[in-house]
Amino acid sequence: MNEAPLSFEAAAFQCFVRGLRGVWRDEAYRGSVEAAQRAGSDEPAEIERKARHSPAYSLYSWLERHSQQFKYYGRYGVVRWMEERKDTLSKVLEEAAKRHPQRLQLDPALELPEYVRAVDTHQHGGGIWGDAADAFAYETSSSAYSFSLFNPRLPMDLYAATAQRLAPQAKEVLDLGCTSGGSTRALKKAFPDAKVTGLDVAAPTLELAHLRSLEADLEVHFRQANSEKLPWPRASVDLVASHWLYHEMPPAAVRRSLTEARRVLKKGGGFMAYDMYLVPGGAIGRWLQAGYAARNNEPFAHTYAGMDMEKELEAAGFKGIEMKIAHPEPSPEVQAGALPPHRTHFMTMITAQAA
């Protein structure tokens, strides 16, 4: 079964929402930046206070919040669409779980972290961990277009290529926070002879990841567990990777996850994290990031960007730490601290080795 197809009407509605995102990314963003520049402050909170009454920023803020709501819960929103087909989608996942069941290890007793249960992340009511409809909705939403309207599949190639450079001989690979398994499948293609396991706390997304791996004829394993307490023995893994995980976790949870990653890694093993971390554009860039985190129900995106990840990784037992903006490739102007011409969620690749 391929992605649950949207009807013509639903696909057309999503094109309309994409158009709204275009206005947010371009005209409303540029007007908001001008308002922020007029504020003349190096403090994001002061910029917010002075710019909040700007018409351009009011439109920008409204679109940032409500275009996501339209995408999920509009007349043809993806969550509503999948909810109407929940019984069928549940049966699809149930049937897939019967095939190669040794590759899918769920833990019904696993307690979801409070920071997962308490937040409707991405404005997805109840989160992606509830049922099959939630899992399919998340997959459809994340594979359609990103907030910045980039092709969301392109970073997977970067993810896999970085992993190959970091741990070319890896035989045991963990992919933390794998959701529906796109990043895990990319790793399996990069390491065809390795045991590759995707890990997540949400059972429905793991079931969907299992289905997609069967469809792709890839022998990938999936396990329901918390990255703060990995069910692997000490020094047993060659590569620990994560894709869009840490910006969804509070700082204390990030630290526990880093400690666990180091515990299970062999000495010299590779660690990589692909996520929003480095924020170009100085105070205005940080102001935009904090606003996004608040308006899209991602409260820890702001705190993650404020962590000193080099220091945190060193404390957890890593060395050779490197971090750079990996996608999209920043222009020389942006590298020098300028804001991009369009609203862009730059992604950072952090790599390190277990000391």
Q: Is residue 38, in this structure, part of any structural domain at all?
A: no
Burial grade of 115 (CB within 10 A; 0-12, 13-18, 19 or more): middle
Rounded to an integer, what distance in angstroms lies between the CA atom of residue 349 and that of residue 62? 30
Structural domain span for residue 212:
154-354
- pLDDT higher for 39 or 1? 39
Assess whether pLDDT exceeds 80 at residue 76.
yes
Helix axes 132-144, 55-73, angle to 10 degrees: 130
Q: Is residue 316, in this structure, part of any structural domain at all?
A: yes
Token pair listed for 222: 């999936």
Helix (H, G, I), strand (E, B) or coil at 200: strand
Q: Identify the CA nearest to 323 among candidates 355, 290, 342, 349.
A: 349
pLDDT of residue 349: 96
> Vertex 119, ends 277 and 19: CA angle to 5°?
65
According to DSSP H, which parts of the chain are helical?
Answer: 8-23, 29-39, 44-51, 55-73, 78-83, 86-97, 114-117, 132-144, 154-166, 182-190, 203-215, 251-264, 282-295, 299-305, 309-316, 332-335
Mention every residue, 6+ apart, whose C-beta is less than 8 A from residue 174. Answer: 197, 199, 230, 232, 237, 239, 240, 241, 264
Q: Identify the CA nearest to 79 among candidates 144, 155, 149.
A: 144
Rounded to an integer, what distance in angstroms lies between the CA atom of residue 142 and that of residue 188? 20
Instruction: Report DSSP state, residue 99.
Output: S
Q: Is residue 8, in this structure, part of any structural domain at all?
A: no
Assess whether pLDDT exceeds 70 at residue 293.
yes
Range name among 77-81, 151-155, 193-197, 209-213 with the lowest pLDDT average = 151-155
> Residue 300's domain is classified under what CATH number?
3.40.50.150
pLDDT of residue 337: 87
DSSP assignment of 176-193 equals ET-TTSHHHHHHHHH-TT
Binned at pLDDT 50, 70 and 90, residue 120 comes out as: very high
Q: Is residue 342, in this structure, part of any structural domain at all?
A: yes
> Among residues of the chain, what percentage have pLDDT more than 90?
88
Rounded to 5 degrees, what are φ and ψ at 52?
A: -60, -25
Q: Is residue 350, in this structure, part of any structural domain at all?
A: yes
Token pair listed for 15: 């094109």
Q: Is the pTM of this model over 0.85?
A: yes
pLDDT of residue 4: 57
Q: Is residue 108, in this structure, part of any structural domain at all?
A: no
Give the rounded distance of the alpha carbon of 61 from its chain centre.
21
Q: Identify the CA nearest to 165 among candidates 287, 290, 320, 35.
A: 320
Radius of gyration of the chain (CA): 20
Q: What is the tally of structural domains in the chain?
A: 1
Q: Is residue 241, in this structure, part of any structural domain at all?
A: yes
Read off the pLDDT of residues 229-282 as tens digits, 9 standing for 90 and up: 999 999 999 999 999 999 999 999 999 999 999 999 999 999 999 999 999 999
Read off the pLDDT of residues 137-170 as tens digits, 9 standing for 90 and up: 999 888 776 666 667 677 889 999 999 999 999 9
Average the pLDDT over 16-43 and give the result: 95
Assess whether pLDDT exceeds 70 at residue 217.
yes
Q: Is residue 243, in this structure, part of any structural domain at all?
A: yes
Rounded to an integer, what distance in angstroms lies between the CA atom of residue 74 and that of residue 76? 5
Token pair listed for 128: 């992606």
